[in-house]
Structure 1
Amino acid sequence: MTNETPVYQKVLEEILRSLVNHPDNIVVTRRVDEMGVLLSIKLHPQDMALVIGRNGENINAIKKIVKAIGKRHFARVNIKVEEPTNLEKQTSLLKSEEIIKKLKEEA
């Protein structure tokens, strides 16, 4: 059995990297069971809105593309976006506030 990353997962990772501001924080995990393949996405909290989009349009389009590629490779693919924890949200907010403060000082 090979541990090579499937095409549909590579495509998902590439789409996400092109959308977000923090591409190094993207983690996609794959779990296979009797229901199919579950790709779980973990993102930087500030990138959640970019990936989900207005009314979920972006994530729905991403799901449609990845599912179509999965079908071609005989895999039933589902995608789940993991919510950041409160600690991750707070840390992200503090960093944003620090950046804003520095920019104001420079002006």
Structure 2
Amino acid sequence: MKALVEHIAQSLVDYPEAVQVEEIHEEKAHVLRLSVHPDDIGKVIGKQGRTAKAIRSVVYAACGKQNGRVRLDIVD
């Protein structure tokens, strides 16, 4: 999952070297925290959050039901 989110984010931003994805295993969910350069946060979120929603949809589809819950947080 981490590599998928990194690849998608790096293809969207102007500063791909600043993309970082951190995996956190919580009790009820698997959390992916995406952080990007401050100038690129708007590109990752998109108008009205559409790009962020699309990234989350891809992650949820790739995860499948057998891997449990996955949450993608976009942090600055």
Q: Relative contact order (C-alpha < 8 Å, sep 6+): which is higher? A: 2
> Which residues of structure 1 form unaligned runs of 5+?
1-7, 84-107
Give the number of the structure whose residues are more often helix, by fraction.
1
Runs of 4+ deviating beyond 6 Å: none
Gaps of 5+ in 2: none
1:39 aligns with 2:32: yes
Q: Larger C-alpha radius of gyration, 1 or 2?
A: 1
Distance change (3 Å), C-alpha of 1:21 and 1:73: farther
Match of 2:13 among 20, 38, 63: 20
* Offset, 1:68: 1.2
User: What is the rounded CA distance, in whole Å, between the counterparts of 2:39 and 2:28 in structure 1?
Assistant: 31
Percent sequence identity is 29
Residue aligning to 2:56:
63
Q: What is aligned with 2:45?
A: 52
Q: TM-score, normalised by structure 2?
A: 0.92
- Structure 1-normalised TM-score? 0.67
RMSD: 1.2
